[in-house]
Amino acid sequence: MAVILVRLCVSMKEESYLSLNDKIMMLPGQPQVNFQQFSGYVTVDDKKQRALFYYFVEAEIDSASKPLVLWLNGGPGCSSLGVGAFSENGPFRPSGDVLVTNEHSWNKARDNLMFLQRWFLKFPQYKHRDLFITGESYAGHYIPQLGELMIQFNKNEMLFNLKGIALGNPVLEFATDFNSRAEYLWSHGLISDSTYRIFTSACNYSRYVSEYYRGSVSSVCLRVMRQVTRETSSYINNYDVTLDVCTSSVLSQSKIINPQQVTERVDVCVDDETANYLNRRDVQKALHARLVGVKKWAACSNILDYELLDLEIPTISIVSSLVKAGIPVLVYSGDQDSVIPLTGSRRLVHGLAKELGLNTTAPYRVWFEGKQVGGWTQVYGDILSFATIRGASHEAPLTQPERSLVLFTSFLQRRPLPEISA
C-alpha cells in the first residue's frame, strides 16, 4: 500500500471515463452497494516513478451531475484512506473481518468523493466540474497551499473550478493554535490551576513543540510537560477529552501535532481494526494497492521526509488570499479536541475577518442537527465562516457522523446551517 494515501472522490458520467483496471469489483466483506468504487495510482513524476494512491467513491444518487470533493488527512504522513475513508466519512467501517455500512458517509450528501493535479491530464472530462477541498488537522497546511496553487494555474488556463474549502480542526497559525491547549485543558478540568499557570508562563506548548523538533527540550519545558502529562494521564484521548480509549492500543494520529501520548460509543479501537483490515493481502489486491518501501501498512508513516519545522509556518495568510480571490472558506472545530482547540481556530477566523474588513453577516448562534444542537456558527461577509460540531473530536466525522454530515451538506450547497430543530 502506498504511503501517500489520498482519498479522492469524483463523479463519472460513464464507467469508461476511469480505467477499468482501477474499478473495485468488491472489497472483502463489503455489503452490497449501488455505487461504484475505484482505486489505483495517479502518476505525479514519470522520471522518478512517483505516484499518489487514490480511492474514489461515487455519489449514491445521480453521480454524473455532482461536484468533486477531495478529502485530505493530516499528520503530515497520515493516511486519508485509513483515517479518512475507513474511519471517518467513507462508505464503510471495518468491523472484525467484514465491512459495515457507514450510514453517514459523505457520498450520501450526493457528492462524489477525488482529485490531484495530474488527475485532470488523465481524465480531462472533470476539468470544469465544481471542486471542493476538505480535510482536517495538518491539512490546514496542505489545503490552503493547494488552493493557492490552483488559482495560480487558472491564470494561464481555467483548469480548476474551485468552489469552496472546508478545514476541520486545522493548524493555521502555530503559536495561536498550540497555545490555546493550556486554557482548553484547564477549562475542562484536565489540569490544575497551578499547572495551568506554569503552562502559560514558564513554558507554553508552542515553545515545547518547537524545542522538541529541534532536539533540545529545555529542563523547564521538560518539567512542565511531565506535570501536564501526569495530570491528564495517558488514558485520556487528547483528540477527544470525553471519549474512552482503546485500552489495548493507546495510539497517536500524529507525532507532530501531538508529541504526547494520544489515541482515538464510537468504536474506540477503529484504528486497530482499520490497520488489520488494510494489511490483509486480499484487501490490498482488491484495492489494486502495492506496498512500496514498507513491509506493513500503517495509518501514519515517516517514510516520506517531511520538514517538521514547516509546522511553524503560518497558513492563515494563504487562507486570507483565498478569501480575497472569492473562494468561500469554512473553518470548523470538533469541540472536544484539545490538540487543535476551537478557541484558537475561532480567534484566528475572527482576526482574519477583521483584517479583511468583513462584517458579521450571521451572528454567533446555535445550529441544529435534528432536534438537538449540532454546534455554534458565525459567518463573515457570506464568504468566511466558523462552526463548531458539538461533542465531536479532532476527527469530527468519526465521533459525530450525523452532525458532520449536516455541516458538510450545508457547506456543499452554500446554505446556512439549520437554525431551528427539525
pLDDT by residue (tens digit) across 269-295?
Answer: 778 889 999 999 999 999 998 877 778
Q: Which one, of 260, 209, 270, 199, lies nearest residue 235 by Cα?
A: 260
Span 56-70, mean pLDDT?
Answer: 84
CATH superfamily assigned to domain 5-172+312-413: Alpha/Beta hydrolase fold, catalytic domain (3.40.50.1820)
Split at pLDDT 50, 70, 90, the class of 127 is: low
Whether 389 and 375 have beta carbons less than 8 Å apart is answered as yes
- Assess whether 104 carries a catalytic annotation: no
Q: Which one, of 389, 421, 390, 394, lies nearest residue 408 by Cα?
A: 389
Residue spans of beta strands (DSSP E) within 109-199: 130-136, 161-168
Whether 235 and 261 have beta carbons less than 8 Å apart is answered as no
CATH class (in words) of the domain with range 174-270 = alpha beta
Q: C-alpha dihedral over 192, 197, 201, 204, to 10 degrees? A: 30
At 321, give phi and psi (nearest 5°): -65, -30
pLDDT over 70 percentage in the chain: 86
pLDDT tens-place string over residues 149-158: 999 988 888 8
Span 118-143, mean pLDDT?
Answer: 75
**174-270 shares the fold of 5-172+312-413:** yes
pLDDT at 259: 47
pLDDT tens-place string over residues 187-245: 999 999 999 999 999 999 999 999 999 999 999 999 999 999 999 998 888 999 988 87
C-alpha cell at 138: 495538518
- Assess whether 188 carries a catalytic annotation: no
- What number of other Cβ atoms are within 10 A of residue 235's Cβ? 11
Which amino acid belongs to residue 321? S
The mean-pLDDT minimum among 121-135, 212-226, 318-332, 371-385 falls in 121-135
pLDDT(313) > 60? yes
How far from 303 is each of 9, 110, 127, 292, 360, CA to CA, in Å?
25, 35, 32, 10, 44
Domain boundaries defined on the chain = 5-172+312-413, 174-270
Task: Give the orientation angle of helix 205-212 with respect to helix 174-187, to 10 degrees.
Answer: 120
Set 137, 206, 254, 410: catalytic member: 137
Task: Quote the pTM value.
Answer: 0.88
Whether the ω angle into residue 76 lies within 30 degrees of 0, i.e. cis, is yes
- Assess whether 394 carries a catalytic annotation: yes
Set 337, 385, 404, 410: catalytic member: 337
pLDDT(264) > 80? no
DSSP annotation of 54 reads E
Set 271, 345, 394, 404: catalytic member: 394
| Distance of alpha carbon 330 from alpha carbon 385, whole angstroms | 5
C-alpha cell at 57: 467513491
pLDDT at 117: 33
